Amino acid sequence: MTEILLVRHATNDWVNTGRLAGWTPGVHLNLDGQQQAQAIGERLASIPVAALYSSPLERTVETAEAIGSHHPELTIQTLEALGEIRYGDWQGAKLNKLRREALWQTVQVYPSRVQFPGGESIRQAQARAVDALESLVLKHPNQRIVVVSHSDVIKLIVAHYIGAHIDFYQRIEISPASLTILRLGSDRPYIICVNDTSHLPRYQRASRPRLSFWQRLAQIVTFRSYS
């Protein structure tokens, strides 16, 4: 099996100010992001890795560089298919403005129906990201590789491999500089962990909301009825 260490890029000022960066050029890690990238790099420093892949956008490449600094034998290989969703006319906008758009509610509840104006559909983004991973599995059988990508892209990948309908992908949390581990290439995919931020300072770690038994049961019933 191929083990894929999926890493979301570390934080930047666009995340902090609630703007949708998309494919906007020149979005770099800020100071907190540089520290987060260093932390995930140190987390993976002692783990043997056969290859290091990244989305071509600066914030992902800079995160990959922090990881690669502990693996000098590796060269960062960029793949456009690992890049952020192409949000089209929404790119660069503030989220509080987008929330007033009629399409916003559809994005949140029925993303399978969404085609971003001037951009791609969420289904298209999921398909090209999953195709990219499947190609890497064929290229790296029985190896461990690192893939640095974006929140929505990783959510879509996880949703695919757990068999969740694409309309549920927004229920998955992927925090800056988090680690998600998949094992692929056998009779079924294995999800080892999702959104692990234990390497970050406590104040930067992912929140873990507590759900009651009935809330968890409702999620299961909803998922099964939808399927």
C-alpha separations of 34 from 29, 39, 141 in Å: 6, 9, 32
| Domain residue limits, the chain | 2-226
CB 106 within 8 A of CB 114: yes
Which amino acid, residue 159?
A: A
Mean pLDDT of 183-205: 89
The pTM of the whole model exceeds 0.75: yes
Question: At 44, is the secondary structure helix, strand, or coil?
Answer: coil
Cα 103–104–108 angle (5° rounding)?
Answer: 120
pLDDT per residue over 117-151, tens digit each? 999 999 999 999 999 999 999 999 999 999 999 99
Which pLDDT does position 187 carry in this prediction? 84
* Domain covering 2-226 assigned CATH 3.40.50.10300 in the classification: no
128: tokens are 């090209």
Token representation of residue 51: 């290859």
CA distance 155 to 168: 10
Tokens 């929505």: give the residue. Answer: 152
Residue 153 burial (CB count, 10 A): 26
Helices (H) and strands (E) in the chain, counts: 8, 6
List the one residue out of 51, 66, 78 whose CA is nearest residue 138. Answer: 51
Q: What's the first-to-final CA gap in the chain, in angstroms?
A: 28
E strand or H helix at 98: helix 95-98
pLDDT at 219 over 80: no
Task: Summarize pLDDT for 177-190 with one digit per residue, the tens.
Answer: 999 999 999 889 99
Percentage above 70 pLDDT, the chain:
89
Higher-scoring residue by pLDDT: 226, 145: 145
Q: Quote the crossing angle between the two packed helices 31-43 and 58-68, to the nearest 10°.
A: 40
